Amino acid sequence: MDKLRVLITREQIAAKVTEMAAQITADFAGEPVVLLGVLKGATIFLADLARQIKLDASFDFIAVSSYGKAKQQSGEVKLMKDVDQSVEGKNIILVEDILDTGLTLTYIKNMLLAHQPKALKVAALLDKVSRRTEPVSADYVGFVIPDEFVVGYGLDFAERYRNLPDVCVLESDSETG
Ligand code: IMP
Ligand code: MG
């Protein structure tokens, strides 16, 4: 059996997303941006963020291999779906649900930079700073969180829990006693 404990409430998320959108709007004032979401975890964050960004914006999505059914990751990143539109010469805001080791973001950033965007910034809702093994960070960070496995607001465990409105820690009964 899984147990869920609310870590970040929907109200806290909404307030933070508003702040992040205002910062992005100010930083890219007068310029068009592409909100590039990493499927599937970033979809809900992107949907909320996008509606508060007051810029000429378009959407695109990429997909990379992730945890699958385990909470541990293999260390290998694979591109499963590429961008639909060229990123060359564009202001790209990569929208990620969570930064953990940084392996995924490092892979994606290198891939995108090879195609020469005008600018590349990263917006991550959550950041497990203590888990980082790669020298990479986000330009816009919602919340720094402890090393706990979280679900909700787009984040999953084996494809479940993405629809929870709050970010919750997933605890198994065996771990908590
Ligand atoms: P990284 O490559 O280790 O930074 O891992 C990033 C990816 O791992 C994220 O995009 C998520 O898909 C997944 N991930 C890392 N931590 C969590 C978590 O606590 N809950 C759900 N997914 C996570
Ligand atoms: Mg993800």
Q: Find all residues with CB under 8 Å of 155, minimum gap 6, and list them.
A: 41, 97, 98, 126, 161, 162, 167
Amino acid at 140: Y
Mutate to test the pocket of ligand 1, among 94, 95, 98 (most ligand atoms within 8 A of CB): 98
Lowest-pLDDT choice from 32-41, 76-85, 116-125: 76-85
Note whether 30 and 53 are within 8 A (CB). Answer: no
Report pLDDT for 87: 98
* pLDDT of residue 67 exceeding 70: no
Query: Beta strand 140-144 with 119-127: parallel, antiparallel or unpaired?
Result: parallel
Q: What is the pTM of this model?
A: 0.94
With a 6 Å cutoff on the Cβ, whether 45 touches ligand 1 is: no
**What is the Å distance from ligand 1's center to 46 Cα?**
16
Q: Which of 86, 98, 149 is nearest to 123 (CA)?
A: 98
User: What are 129-166's pLDDT values in tens digits?
Assistant: 999 999 999 999 999 999 999 999 999 999 999 999 99
Could you give the CA distance from residue 38 to residue 57 in angstroms, rounded to a whole number? 16
Examine the residue annotation and report whether 100 is marked as an active-site residue of this protein. Answer: yes
For residues 33, 12, 38, 121, the Cα torsion angle rounded to the nearest 10 degrees is: 40
* Listed ranges 1-10, 35-44, 59-68, 70-79; the one with the highest mean pLDDT: 35-44
